[in-house]
Chains A and B, each alone.
Chain A
Amino acid sequence: MRPLQLTHTTLTSCLGRGLDANLAALRLRASGLAPCRFETAVLDTCVGEVAGVDEVRLAPALGAYDCRNNRLAALALAQDGYADAVRAAAARLGARRIGVFLGTSTSGILQTELAYRRRNAASGALPADFDYQHTHNTGSVSDFVRRSLGLAGPTWTVSTACSSSAKVFGTAARMIEAGLIDAAVVGGVDSLCLTTLYGFNSLELLSHGPCRPYDEARTGLSIGEGAAFALLEPRADQDAIALLGVGESSDAHHMSAPHPEGLGARMAIEAALAAAGLEAAQIDYINLHGTATPSNDAAEDKAVTGVFGTDTPCSSTKGATGHTLGAAGALEAVIAVLALRHGFMPGGANTQRLDPALRAHYLLETRAAPVRRVLSNSFGFGGTNCSLVLGRA
């Protein structure tokens, strides 16, 4: 595929607001995970909660969109001069020529969870102030971001569980290639809610302590929340950081368990390398999906070592950020940008003893080294797989 530059990026997670806070924490292998105190959840697990989301106030004109997910989106858009950069691009290219494609798994469903507690005792009706379209609906976050940025291009949400905001990079690339737009705002936003906390609990996939990807004692994931955005443009600036390849596949195996041999994951990785025109040996660092569930890490390890052998440095940053579900793909794509820009490979936080059954070269310590190309994996329920290759164009 034709490389697309990530001309502006931003990232907000439990590690902090904006690129610098996340960069500093990732270099130190710091973790933002803490025991779950979210809302009324009573669960013995840790979460990666973004501080201060409740205090965010949306612009009055966008008040109908008020919910945790859109507040998190607004918080993230305000960091790193991102919104201003997009507005400048819109002035240059035209608001209608910039698409908006965002990933989320649960959008503003927390708003509906809360509204169900306030149902009319007699009729069962939801409260009058509950706004389904602008909060709960899966499309809400993309519409909110489009309006926040003053854009008018084609806008939709990709919602394929935990691969959602990796797949938006593919959507944007195809829409630009088709000539329908000249640039795209891509990203992911997912926020804490009871559906995912109690849902993953029901599947017995939640870790009690902070999650430990690739650890021999890993027991499950820690849910996080976060938002990350990139502006994708087909420019050819020397040495700029670009999206080089996207690969997608389906497991065709099970709704909530990965293919045990990592077959779908491997197909996505190979398709991403082929789209980038690269050999496996040309990848310097792999940001794993690495959820820390026993089955994910085992299946992903087979896929990764099957393609790369056992020497390519890799790690999961979910020990630091938690699994941000539909935001994870974009979050980790921006982490890949940080690795490329600042020349480091983040050591996996929380992991103590590597599982001897896993063969990939998992980094327990942060490594300072030039990084020219990164592969980032995102897999999800329904057997959806997406791999991205980012690097110097």
Chain B
Amino acid sequence: MTPLALEGVALIGPGFPDWAAARAVLAGEVPYAAAPAAVPVPLMLPPNERRRSGLAIKVALAAGAGALAACGRGAAGVATVFTSSSADGDTCHAICAQLAGSDRLISPTRFHNSVHNAPAGYWSIATRSMAPSTSVCAYDASFGAGLLEAAALARARSEAVLLIAYDAPYPEPLHAKRPLADAFGVGMVLAPARSAHSLAELTLELGTRTPSTFAELPLEKLRQGIPAARCLPLLGLVARGARGAAVLEFQEGLTLEATLTPCS
């Protein structure tokens, strides 16, 4: 499809307190050092909503706010695409555990937090943005799905779109069935054309080539261990700041071929 401009990037994940730290690792300047993800409290939310938001919502909001800040954009009018394999797993567990017991009076807050688009709801309340927003899921292919949604949306609207890909682990017993390594959030602003904000020009095509992997085992483990971290080969291109291509893992029989040309 026609090239897009990549603007701000933000990243929070295990061993990656922020994009600056991740960039240095992905550029090969410093080795990856594993550490639990440190997810900040979302100060953008009003106190009531802040209290009601769990890890998944926090990491999504931090990634989104970080990406906008990185390119100096306000949230107003910026359409959003949220993608996650499982959204708020703590809430899902709490509801299923309660429904299996004798008292099925689940809390109203739990229920509205259980929707897949809960982070999008909190985002729009926090930013007052009434722009369109969608929330998607494709299990391990969720990052690719969100990237395609965001790219097609930026093209259709001829305006910048904020992509937020995030995951947070389920507690047990669901964790044993769907083990996600840690919380991870990535935010990217995609614009329909190059501007002073642009980091790079990005071209995306569907293909069938073998996905790019990392030679460094801990990074490869991270890429495979969290669906949102399937973005890392693309961010590796951004970090190296040179023209290059990466094949992003997507769904059975399809990959996403990304070509990045830095804007000097």
Chain A residues with CB under 8 Å of chain B are 1, 96, 105, 109, 112-113, 116-117, 119, 123-126, 130, 132-133, 137-140, 142-143, 152-161, 167, 170-171, 173-175, 177-180, 194-195, 198-203, 248-256, 263-264, 267, 271, 380-384
Contacts and interface: CB of A to CB of B under 8 A. Distances in A.
A155 B100 contact: no
Given A105-B115, A138-B116, A160-B116, A198 B142 contact: no
A116 B93 CA distance: 9
Interface in B87-128: 87, 92, 95-97, 99-100, 104-108, 111-118, 120-122, 124-125, 127-128
Given A125-B173, A248-B134, A267-B130, A160 B120 contact: yes
Given A249-B130, A250-B120, A132 B138 contact: no
Contact of A198 (B106, B156, B173): B106
Contacts of A130: 177
B223 to A, nearest CB: 18
A231 B136 CA distance: 20
Interface stretch (B23-31, B145-153, B211-219, B238-246): B145-153
Contact of B121 (A1, A96, A179, A381): A381
B224 interface: no
Contacts of A154: 144-145, 148, 206, 250-251, 254
A98 B6 CA distance: 27
Nearest to A256: B112
A139 B137 contact: yes
B129 A139 contact: no
Contact of B105 (A113, A195, A202, A382): A202
B137 A198 contact: no
A159 B1 CA distance: 25
B115 A126 contact: no
Given A154-B148, A159-B117, A384-B121, A256 B108 contact: yes
8 smallest beta-carbon distances between A and B, as pairs: A382-B121, A199-B111, A159-B116, A248-B132, A156-B145, A138-B137, A116-B100, A174-B152
Interface residues of B, number: 66
Contacts of A179: 1
A113 B100 contact: yes
6 contacts: A250-B132, A255-B49, A255-B113, A256-B108, A381-B117, A383-B124
Contact of B174 (A112, A167, A253, A267): A112
Contacts of B124: 250-252, 382-383
Contact of A253 (B125, B142, B177): B125
Interface string B207-245: 000000000000000000000000000000000000000
B214 to A, nearest CB: 24
Contact of A251 (B113, B116, B130, B153): B130
B198 interface: no
Given A180-B152, A194-B104, A382-B115, A113 B99 contact: yes
Given A112-B96, A143-B139, A384 B117 contact: yes
A252 B125 contact: yes
Interface centre among A96, A126, A138, A380 (most CB of B within 10 A): A138
B196 interface: no
A184 to B, nearest CB: 12
B69 interface: no
B117 A382 contact: yes
Contact of A161 (B1, B115, B149, B177): B115
B141 interface: yes
Contacts of A202: 105-108, 111
A155 B136 CA distance: 10
Given A140-B139, A252-B128, A178 B151 contact: yes
A159 B115 contact: yes
B136 A380 contact: no
B104 A198 contact: yes
B105 A152 contact: no
Contacts of A152: 252-254
Nearest to A41: B104
B53 to A, nearest CB: 10
Contacts of A119: 100, 173
B60 to A, nearest CB: 12
Interface string B145-187: 1001101110110000000000000001110111000000000
A194 B253 CA distance: 35
